[in-house]
Amino acid sequence: MKRPTIADVARRAGVSKGAVSYALNGQPGVSEATRQRILAIAAEIGFSPSSAARALSGATARAIGLILARPAQTLGIEPFFMELISGVEAELSARSYALTLQVVTDATAEIAVYRRWWGERRVDGVLVCDLRTDDQRVPVLEELRLPAVVIGGPAGTGRLASVWSNDAAALVETVEYLYALGHRRMARVAGLPDLLHTTIRTQAFTEVCQRLGLTESVVASTDYTGEEGARATRRLLSSRIRPTAIIYDNDVMAIAGLSVAQEMGLTVPADLSIVAWDDSPLCRLVHPPLTAVGRDIPAYGAHAARQLLQLIEGAPATDLQDEQAHLTPRGSTGPPGGDQ
C-alpha cells in the first residue's frame, strides 16, 4: 500500500497542491471551509507534511511503536506490562532505537494511530499486544505492510510475525498440581474474555477439568483489575459450593483475592489455595507468599523487540515460541482442609 502524498490529498479535495500546502501550513490563500475539508481528508488518509519530508530524505524514524488499549490508570499497577516494556527498552537502547508508547480507548482508536504513524513515518515498526479473537488490527497491519510483531499467538496472527508462550500447557500443569494436592473444587478468575490468551487458558482449564472429572469447576471473567478480582472472589467464596482453590489470571487479582479470603475469615492455604499468574515481585511480598505461574517477562519483551528490529532490517516474518511459563509453589497452596 502506497503512502499518501500531497497530490492524493489535492485530488480527493478537488483543489491544487498549492491549496493543500496553504491549508496544512496554516497560511492564507484558502477559505476556512476548504481548509477544514483538506485537514479532514489529510487525517483520513494519514498524510502530514512531516511524512512528505521524511519520504524525500529517505530517513528512518529509529523508533518502534507500542499501543495499549487499556485504561491508563491500570498500567501503573499492572506488573506484566512494566516488566515487558523494561525488556523492550533494554533491547532498543542497545541499538539506539526509541520506544513510542501510546494508550488508547479501544481497537478502533488503535488502528487509527497505526494509520497515522504509517502515513507520517513516525515509527519503523510496531509491537502488538492483547491479541483478540478475529483481531481487526491484523489485516490492517498486513495491508499497510508496516513491520509488526504480535506478542501472543500462535493462532490469529495472519502473516504477521509473533512471539508466543504456551499458556495452555502452563494452565494444565497448574490444575494437575492442585489436583495432586487433593483439590476437587477449583475456580479460575480470568481476564478480559475477548483476548485470545484468555480464550486459550479457559479452553485448557475446561478440558483438563473434564479429563480429571472436576465437574464443579467454574470460570469468572473480569477486567484484570484488583476491584473486579476481589468482587469475583467474593462471589465464588459466597457460593453454595465453595471452591478450595482459585487460579487468577494476574498478580493484582490474586492479591485482591487473598485479601477477600482473609476478610471472610478463611485461612490460606488451609481453607483456600491461591495461584497467581506472571509471578512479579508482588507475589513474594504478601503473606503467605503466592504460588505463581511465571516466566522471564523482560526477556519475553526483549525477544519481541529483537525480532521486530530484524524485520525492519529486511528479515522474513517468522514465529518464535518463547519459554513456557512454569509453576513455582509457595505458601499459598496446600492440601485442602475439611470436607471435599
Least confident of 73-82, 196-205, 218-227, 277-286: 73-82
Give the chain's mean pLDDT: 90
CA distance 270 to 183: 11
Torsion of CA 116, 122, 127, 128, to 10 degrees: -10
- The fraction of the chain above a pLDDT of 70, given in percent, is 92
Residue whose cell numbers read 477544514: 36
pLDDT at 340 > cutoff 60: no
pLDDT tens-digit profile of 299-339?
999 999 999 999 999 888 889 999 999 999 999 999 998 55
The structure's pTM equals 0.81
Alpha helices per DSSP H over the chain: 6-13, 17-24, 32-45, 49-57, 72-75, 79-94, 107-120, 137-144, 167-181, 196-211, 226-237, 251-263, 297-312
pLDDT tens-digit profile of 205-231?
999 999 999 999 999 999 888 999 999
pLDDT tens-digit profile of 224-242?
889 999 999 999 999 999 9
Task: Check residue 283 and report its DSSP letter.
Answer: G
- Report whether 5 contacts 47 (CB < 8 A): yes
pLDDT at 16 > cutoff 70: yes
pLDDT tens-digit profile of 39-62?
888 888 877 665 445 444 445 778
